[in-house]
Structure 1
Amino acid sequence: MTQSRPQFESPRCIPGERVSEPAVQMDLSLQVGKYDVQKAIGKGATGMVYLAKDTFTGGEVALKTIEPEVFRDPEFGTVYRSQFLNEASLAGKLRHPHIVAILDAVVQEDSGYIAMEFVKGGDLSRHVAAGKLLPVADVLQIAFKCCGALEYAAKEGIVHSDIKPANLMLAEGTEVKISDFGAAYLRKSQVVQTAAMGSPYYMSPEQIAGKELSFHSDMYSLGVSLYELLTGNKPFTGETIEMLVQKIQNQDP
């Protein structure tokens, strides 16, 4: 299974996109679209995630935003925009009990937000350190559920491309949900750029080499994540990205 979905290079490419003026403001005193922002629940390198209330249904959502200057970044702005647009384009498309649902999205020239299913338990990056590891039986249950979700996505023509503990959300018990499909539609050159933007620890050898990705690439990244969840260590480390990449491509764990 290979990536077969179209690329989205501008906000106008999103079916059903809604554009409004002025640009979206994430002031907590304001209503954003149909959402009442309640509180900030996370902060990443490119924006914030807020807990918000859907004023139509009364339900809680996670509202993911991106800072305007991120899209304008001269080095990685194009990749960041593509990732955000890709994730927004999945609104209503992936329906699986172990995939975080994308409910709504608005993308503008230099800002936007994505409304997602709110998962209360946080992500699994909290459980990769000694003393915080989950029981082996729990990790096995999580592995089984993630495999099912990734198989479903692959049958829909989607390769996640960024599986790691931080993108595995734990709802309750061993109920896991995969989040952040923003890298799913990136071009090969952009996938390679993500290694410089973030961490390549979980990338498969073919992903680092810029080759075509498949379901097996996601399974490799899931395997690295499970290794870390079970041992508290990454299978490959290096003092520099170059050393790390060399180990991933040429050594066994």
Structure 2
Amino acid sequence: MDTDRLLADRYRLVAELGRGGTGVVWQARDEALGRQVAVKAIRAAAELSPAEARLLYARLEQEAMTAGRVSHRNVATVHNVVVEDGRLWIVTELVRGLPLSAVLEVEGTLPPARAARIGAEAVSALRAAHEAGVTHRDLKPSNVLLGNDGRVVLTDFGIALVRTGAAHAGEPVGAPEFLPPECARGREPGPAADLWALGVLLYLTVEGVSPFRRDTPEETLRAVAGYADGALPAPRRAGPLEPVLEGLLRADPAERMSAAETERLLRVAAAGGTPRTAPPSSAGTRPRPAGSDTGDDARDRDGGRGTPPAPGTDPAPPAPSSSWDADRGPRGVLVAVAGALIVLLAALTVTVLLR
């Protein structure tokens, strides 16, 4: 038992918080600063050779140190990395709350607005991490903490390397049902892989089932690797989240919705609105010269009556200016004549009085 152990002459292990595929999480006390922290003890997969384990620890240590540069309210801050007793220990801030996986076990599914809020906070964290050059690689409900203070916090950046024993590039990293097609086919995960995983997580959160889980990990990987756009089981409870799911769960990573657009749509859905994606730009549309009018500008000036010219035709020249206003009609002319007569009569009256 490691209880009451003093790690690195600084972190005293107090109580075990949980166990998973990558190791044991402890609540600990930082004796130097007098604060509570979380410490994750990580041991490499048993099938790895000592040389492979050292390589894996070195890569994971670098991942943890890189993740430590990410400063964001939705990311569990990494305080320290310690190698001791043949294990890697990662010291992070202690977030009091429950993982999303535990909440889903109790509640089954979450309403779209609540799921959208969780997703918006998660993608905000991903944006900060990606800007710092960090990819999560294993985004799933157990790595999303719902804090007692209302925060949504992502944990375990890069730690999936240990569970899978993936010490080399090109090996699948992460839970199979959350892997994107490109990673299931052996490509190294990038930022777009995290966005795909977020799409699967949101689908699971509102629908209660993962769209790709099969009976075995191998069958799940085959289902993901063979996924093509349009093959996703139609969501029934997603409501306003449907455009987000469609935008994130695209087989080609280059076609996936950006993190910024994802966060925008999720914020709208979280507030009870209906997200609308921006219309795709036409590849054949030529750019307009600077200062040229758009159809909307023309309609604004002529009261909405403007009609864009048919494709391939030149726009009609502007009509010559005229003192006659078709909108005013005869009534407008009579009003103008009456006004002129009144002015003339006033002038005559003044002339008579002066004389």
Q: Above 0.5 in TM-score?
A: yes
- What letter corresponds to residue 97 of structure 1 in structure 2? R
* Structure 2 unpaired stretches of 5+: 233-355
Q: 1:46 to 1:157 in 2, by over 3 A?
A: closer
Deviant stretches of 4+, over 6 Å: 184-188
Of 86-95 and 76-85, deviating more is 76-85
Please give the per-residue CA displacement for 1:24-48, whole angstroms capped at 9, x wherever unaligned: xx62133223122211111123431
Identity, in percent, stands at 28
Q: What are the residue-to-residue correspondences of 1:1-253 with 2, within 5 Å?
A: 27-32=2-7, 33-67=9-43, 70=44, 73-74=47-48, 77=53, 81=57, 84-90=60-66, 92-108=68-84, 110-129=86-105, 131-172=107-148, 174-183=150-159, 189-190=168-169, 192-194=171-173, 199-251=175-227, 252-253=231-232
Secondary structure of residue in 2 paired with 1:36:
strand
Normalising by the residue count of structure 2, what TM-score does the alignment of the two structures yield?
A: 0.56
Separation (CA, whole Å) in 2 of partners of 1:237 and 1:166: 16
Secondary structure of residue in 1 paired with 2:178:
coil
Are the aligned partners of 1:61 and 1:116 in contact in 2 as well (CA < 8 Å)? yes
Normalising by the residue count of structure 1, what TM-score does the alignment of the two structures yield?
A: 0.76
- Tell me what 1:3 maps to: none
Separation (CA, whole Å) in 2 of partners of 1:73 and 1:131: 37
Separation (CA, whole Å) in 2 of partners of 1:189 and 1:161: 14
Separation (CA, whole Å) in 2 of partners of 1:138 and 1:156: 28
Bigger fraction of residues in helix? 2
- What letter corresponds to residue 81 of structure 2 in structure 1? A
Secondary structure of residue in 1 paired with 2:14:
strand
Q: 1:66 to 1:245 in 2, by over 3 A?
A: closer
Q: 1:173 to 1:248 in 2, by over 3 A?
A: farther
Are the aligned partners of 2:12 and 2:30 in contact in 1 as well (CA < 8 Å)? yes
Q: Which has the larger radius of gyration?
A: 2
Are the aligned partners of 1:46 and 1:66 in contact in 2 as well (CA < 8 Å)? yes
Of 151-160 and 179-188, deviating more is 179-188
- Displacement, 1:139? 1.1
Secondary structure of residue in 1 paired with 2:197:
helix
- Displacement, 1:238? 1.7
Q: 1:141 to 1:73 in 2, by over 3 A?
A: same
- Displacement, 1:129? 3.8
Please give the per-residue CA displacement for 1:179-213, whole angstroms capped at 9, x wherever unaligned: 11125889894562446xxx301000011112243
- Displacement, 1:122? 2.4
RCO higher in 1 or 2 (8 Å CA, sep ≥ 6)? 1
Are the aligned partners of 2:13 and 2:27 in contact in 1 as well (CA < 8 Å)? yes
Please give the per-residue CA displacement for 1:7-31, whole angstroms capped at 9, x wherever unaligned: xxxxxxxxxxxxxxxxxxx621332
Are the aligned partners of 2:161 and 2:167 in contact in 1 as well (CA < 8 Å)? no
Q: 1:209 to 1:78 in 2, by over 3 A?
A: farther
- Displacement, 1:100? 0.6
Of 211-220 and 200-209, deviating more is 211-220
Separation (CA, whole Å) in 1 of partners of 2:13 and 2:167: 36
Separation (CA, whole Å) in 1 of partners of 2:29 and 2:75: 21
Are the aligned partners of 1:139 and 1:226 in contact in 2 as well (CA < 8 Å)? yes
Separation (CA, whole Å) in 2 of partners of 1:79 and 1:45: 19
- Displacement, 1:220? 0.4
